[in-house]
């Protein structure tokens, strides 16, 4: 059995200072005594006024309370907190009291599992404690992995600030396509995927004295694979310390996996959170979010709001709706500061979410899952949880991978609610019914390794010389069929030979921090003499969701601008067209503005492109341009994405191998055209299974680029002509079928 080092929760409770009950608390108690949250119950007069302000109000029912581990008031108020300097803030974190014990435990054990409530200071403080304790004196670094890029960047920035150093010097971060570290870096935050790649050049992690696998409970694919890799490394690196840090209850499981490593528990500071459910299911949860935000804003005492949405698009929609309503309400309401957070958010915007809220104003943070555990935003008192997240799901039967919005698990719902109880007692408004919570949500989220395509992971493991994947030390093994499918896919791509060994092509593919399909597309561009073009397309695909700017009041203009980039052949060539036109203006900001293109995304595409070209040169590819050879460009794309092919027959698109019905996304340039054969970049499931980024191909190319995968007879009706006009139906007509 693992030995629990620390500590029971009583210890903390007893140390809390009592503060007097505030006005706010009294009022809340009064209001809550009925058990039903009523809109505007504070004063009848206000109620009437607010009813005028907000239509479609939502009635919530309180049926539960998540008890805190501590129901006292925090020992410092938010206002005082702002005044504290960094040193004092650090001392106020729950982890601070355990600094000495923690360091001792790390000295005593090679592997330690650390469990502590989110926001207790694990991510930002532990590396600093280790540094102070001399773990970097031997010219080695402390590494800390994060499942999310934004978390890696923002935490590194925070720690650099706390240590008064410039980001990128002593403290830095490294994420895909962006390395902000230097020779001097001793504390390095990175994504789990980045560490995974580092194993290729440094299999023994020689430059590290401590490796922290942080946010282990998130169980991303990369984190899960890292578990197996680091467990192996520490066997022949006795001087390397390994910390597995987790926010939730998986500590026991981690401990067992790591040969019964001891668990160090940091007692959390958590205040009770009242849970409210909607009476009936909400049909439009974005609208329900907007209503709830305003409802809280006008009826509840000050305190910031955190809203969980599934992705950038939803966040932007919600942001616009909310801005518009706030504008309409004008000076009738207090200031509401709206801040979005998602993974592609530019750095300067990220910093904003951590800035203290000005007095008499309220901050509302519209976030993806990233705020569930990876990022802690102080002063959140209210949480709005629509109950969904976006997941990458893979169907091993059909081999199809798709981004889907799915209900969250109970564990996630409770994590989200917990975010309201970090600095004081809070409230969580769930935009679903209590019944739905009990009967429709799974207990836990299935780890990524059991539900996504493993192509990338398998390629990396093979490149690390790990051939026997069936016997790899997985915390939870992936389903057998998924593993087999990944091997088959890599074989069809030419990355593995029939014995399952990495080929020369596979070795080159592994050099790129990309999905194997995209890596293959890049390498195939050598043969088709269009590597410049394919590099641009790959870069644009990497930022694809955020290229266009569609302000609500200029939708028509923006859509016309977008359509102006359409070219014959499909969306990949349209992306290339955008990139090339922008490059021809010498990367002008103004040009982006005039064409409703997000300049930031384009800049990022340029950065990604530069790095891809660098990697292409490293694998000794010839960098050539052939912009007019659009057939060759499309053939190179097909050489990578020949798995993603659909054929039009009897008015519907079906995938070639598995006969699944799919549709062209309405934003695609081919939406009205309906070519017989199309290739898609990805599938997104909303109301239907939509293909996004679609290109017209000819079926005979498939035999050329993937002779092992396709046979003649599968492609029989390969006339490649468009349907005769009379038979051809546009997508909008097909809707009636
Ligand atoms: O890792 P864990 O969830 O235990 O906590 P943490 O991320 O180390 O956060 C500790 C404190 O640092 C919290 O009060 C955060 O709000 C603060 N923090 C911050 O102000 N800015 C950041 N970029 C990250 C954390
Ligand atoms: Mg953390």
At 13, the pLDDT band (50, 70, 90 cuts) reads very low
What ipTM does the predicted assembly reach?
A: 0.98
Q: Which atom of ligand 1 is nearest to the CA of 120?
A: 4
- pLDDT for 43 beyond 90: no
Cβ–ligand 1 distance for 118 under 6 Å, the answer yes
Cβ–ligand 1 distance for 158 under 6 Å, the answer yes
Q: Name the residue of 86, 87, 124 whose CB sits within 8 Å of the most ligand 1 atoms, as the mutation to test its pocket.
A: 124
pLDDT, tens only, 496-514: 999 999 999 999 999 998 9
Counting ligands in written order, which one lies closest to the CA of residue 95?
Answer: 1
Cβ–ligand 1 distance for 419 under 6 Å, the answer no
Round to whole Å and give the CA distance between 667 and 524. Answer: 28
Q: Which of 30-44, 333-347, 670-684 has the lowest mean pLDDT?
A: 30-44
Q: Which atom of ligand 1 is nearest to the CA of 377?
A: 16
- pLDDT for 720 beyond 60: no
Round to whole Å and give the CA distance between 324 and 321. Answer: 5
Q: Which atom of ligand 1 is nearest to the CA of 422?
A: 14
Round to whole Å and give the CA distance between 191 and 534. Answer: 26
What's the predicted TM-score (pTM) here? Answer: 0.81
Measure 300 CA to ligand 1 centroid, in angstroms.
Answer: 26
Measure 158 CA to ligand 2 centroid, in angstroms.
Answer: 12
Cβ–ligand 1 distance for 162 under 6 Å, the answer no
Beta bridge partners of 694: 680
What residue owns the CA closest to ligand 1's atom 24? 155
Query: Alpha helix (H) ranges present in 553-686?
Result: 555-563, 571-584, 589-594, 599-618, 630-641
Q: What is the mean pLDDT of residues 419-430?
A: 91
Q: Name the residue of 146, 376, 419, 421 whose CB sits within 8 Å of the most ligand 1 atoms, as the mutation to test its pocket.
A: 376
pLDDT, tens only, 567-621: 999 999 999 999 999 999 999 999 999 999 999 889 989 999 999 999 999 999 9
Question: What share of the chain in percent tops pLDDT 70?
Answer: 85
Name 44's Cβ contacts closer than 8 Å, sequence gap at least 6: none
Measure 183 CA to ligand 1 centroid, in angstroms.
Answer: 26
Cβ–ligand 1 distance for 341 under 6 Å, the answer no
Q: Which atom of ligand 1 is nearest to the CA of 154?
A: 23
The predicted pLDDT at position 714 comes to 80
Measure 376 CA to ligand 1 centroid, in angstroms.
Answer: 5
The predicted pLDDT at position 388 comes to 95
What residue owns the CA closest to ligand 1's atom 10? 121
**Neighbour tally for 330: CB within 10 Å:** 7
Round to whole Å and give the CA distance between 525 and 86. Answer: 52
Counting ligands in written order, which one lies closest to the CA of residue 216?
Answer: 2
Q: Are 696 and 669 in contact (CB under 8 A)?
A: no
Measure 607 CA to ligand 1 centroid, in angstroms.
Answer: 29
What residue owns the CA closest to ligand 1's atom 21? 158
pLDDT, tens only, 432-472: 999 999 999 999 889 999 988 899 899 999 999 998 888 89
pLDDT, tens only, 534-573: 999 999 998 855 788 888 788 899 999 999 999 999 999 9
Q: Which of 2-6, 99-103, 142-146, 669-673 has the lowest mean pLDDT?
A: 2-6
Q: What is the mean pLDDT of residues 323-333?
A: 89
Cβ–ligand 1 distance for 354 under 6 Å, the answer yes
**Neighbour tally for 529: CB within 10 Å:** 16
- pLDDT for 533 beyond 60: yes
Measure 117 CA to ligand 1 centroid, in angstroms.
Answer: 11
Measure 167 CA to ligand 1 centroid, in angstroms.
Answer: 17
Pairing relation of β-strands 263-266 and 4-6?
A: parallel
Measure 125 CA to ligand 1 centroid, in angstroms.
Answer: 9
Cβ–ligand 1 distance for 123 under 6 Å, the answer yes
At 269, the pLDDT band (50, 70, 90 cuts) reads low
Cβ–ligand 1 distance for 376 under 6 Å, the answer yes
Measure 93 CA to ligand 1 centroid, in angstroms.
Answer: 9
Cβ–ligand 1 distance for 422 under 6 Å, the answer no
Q: Are 641 and 521 in contact (CB under 8 A)?
A: yes
To which residue do tokens 């509302």 refer?
364
Measure 391 CA to ligand 1 centroid, in angstroms.
Answer: 25
Counting ligands in written order, which one lies closest to the CA of residue 351?
Answer: 1
* Nearest alpha-carbon partner for 398 in 134, 175, 659: 659
């Amino acid at each position: 059995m693992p030995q629990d080092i620390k500590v029971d929760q009583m210890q903390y409770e007893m140390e809390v200072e009592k503060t007097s009950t505030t006005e706010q608390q009294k009022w809340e108690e009064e209001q809550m005594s009925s058990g039903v949250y009523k809109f505007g119950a504070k004063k009848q007069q206000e109620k009437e006024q607010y009813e005028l302000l907000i239509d479609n109000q939502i009635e919530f029912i309180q049926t539960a309370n998540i008890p805190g581990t501590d129901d006292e008031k925090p020992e410092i108020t938010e206002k005082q907190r702002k005044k504290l300097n960094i040193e004092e803030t650090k001392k106020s974190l729950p982890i601070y009291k355990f600094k000495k014990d923690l360091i001792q435990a790390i000295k005593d054990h090679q592997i330690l599992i650390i469990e502590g409530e989110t926001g207790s200071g694990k991510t930002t403080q532990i590396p600093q404690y280790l540094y102070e304790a001399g773990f970097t004196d031997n010219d080695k670094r402390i590494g800390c992995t994060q499942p999310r890029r934004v978390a890696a960047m923002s935490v590194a920035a925070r720690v650099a600030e706390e240590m008064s150093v410039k980001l990128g010097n002593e403290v830095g971060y490294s994420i895909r396509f962006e390395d902000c570290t230097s020779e001097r870096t001793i504390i390095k935050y990175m994504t789990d995927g980045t560490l995974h790649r580092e194993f290729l050049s440094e299999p023994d992690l020689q430059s590290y004295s401590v490796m922290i696998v942080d946010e282990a409970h998130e169980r991303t694919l990369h984190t899960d694979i890292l578990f197996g890799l680091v467990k192996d490394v520490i066997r022949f690196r006795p001087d390397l310390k390994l910390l597995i840090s987790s926010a939730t209850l998986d500590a026991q499981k981690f401990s067992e996996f790591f040969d019964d490593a001891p668990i160090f528990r940091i007692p959390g500071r958590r205040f009770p959170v009242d849970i409210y459910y909607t009476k009936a299911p909400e049909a439009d949860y974005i609208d329900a979010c907007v209503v709830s935000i305003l409802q809280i804003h006008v009826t509840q005492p000050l305190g910031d709001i955190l809203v969980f949405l599934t992705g950038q698009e939803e966040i932007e929609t919600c942001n616009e709706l909310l801005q518009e309503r706030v504008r309409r309400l004008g000076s009738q309401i207090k200031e509401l500061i709206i801040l979005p957070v998602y993974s592609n958010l530019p750095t300067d915007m990220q910093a904003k979410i951590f800035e203290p809220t000005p007095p008499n104003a309220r901050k509302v943070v519209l976030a993806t899952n990233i705020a569930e555990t990876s990022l802690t935003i102080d002063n959140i008192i209210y949480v709005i949880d629509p109950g969904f997240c976006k997941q990458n799901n893979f169907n091993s039967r059909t081999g199809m991978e798709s981004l889907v919005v799915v209900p969250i698990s109970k564990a996630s719902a409770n994590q989200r609610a917990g975010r309201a109880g970090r600095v004081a007692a809070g409230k969580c408004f769930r935009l679903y019914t209590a019944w739905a919570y009990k009967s429709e949500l799974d207990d836990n989220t299935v780890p990524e390794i059991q539900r996504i395509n493993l192509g990338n992971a398998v390629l990396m493991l093979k490149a690390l010389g790990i051939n026997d994947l069936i016997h790899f030390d997985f915390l939870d093994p992936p389903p057998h069929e998924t593993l087999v499918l990944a091997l088959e896919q890599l074989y069809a791509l030419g990355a593995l030979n029939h014995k399952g060994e990495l080929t020369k092509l596979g070795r080159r593919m592994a050099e790129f921090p990309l999905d194997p399909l995209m890596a293959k597309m890049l390498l195939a561009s050598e043969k088709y003499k269009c590597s410049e073009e394919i590099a641009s397309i790959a870069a644009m695909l990497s930022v694809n969701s955020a290229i266009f700017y569609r302000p609500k009041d200029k939708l028509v203009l923006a859509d016309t601008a977008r359509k102006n980039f359409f070219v014959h052949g499909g969306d990949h060539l349209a992306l290339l067209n955008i990139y090339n036109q922008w490059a021809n203006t010498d990367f002008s900001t103004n040009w982006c503005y005039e064409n409703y293109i997000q300049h930031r995304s384009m800049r990022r595409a340029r950065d990604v492109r530069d790095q891809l070209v660098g990697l292409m040169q490293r694998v000794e590819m010839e960098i050539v341009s052939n912009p007019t050879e659009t057939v060759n460009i499309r053939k190179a794309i097909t050489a990578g994405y020949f798995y993603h092919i659909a054929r039009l027959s009897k008015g519907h698109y079906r995938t070639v191998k598995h006969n699944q019905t799919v549709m062209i996304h309405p934003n695609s340039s081919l939406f009205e055209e309906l070519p017989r054969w199309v290739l898609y970049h990805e599938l997104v499931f909303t109301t239907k299974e939509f293909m996004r980024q679609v290109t017209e191909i000819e079926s005979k190319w498939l035999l050329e680029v993937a002779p092992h995968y396709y046979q003649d007879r599968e492609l029989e009706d390969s006339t490649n002509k468009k349907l005769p006009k009379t038979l051809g139906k546009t997508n909008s007509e097909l809707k009636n079928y």
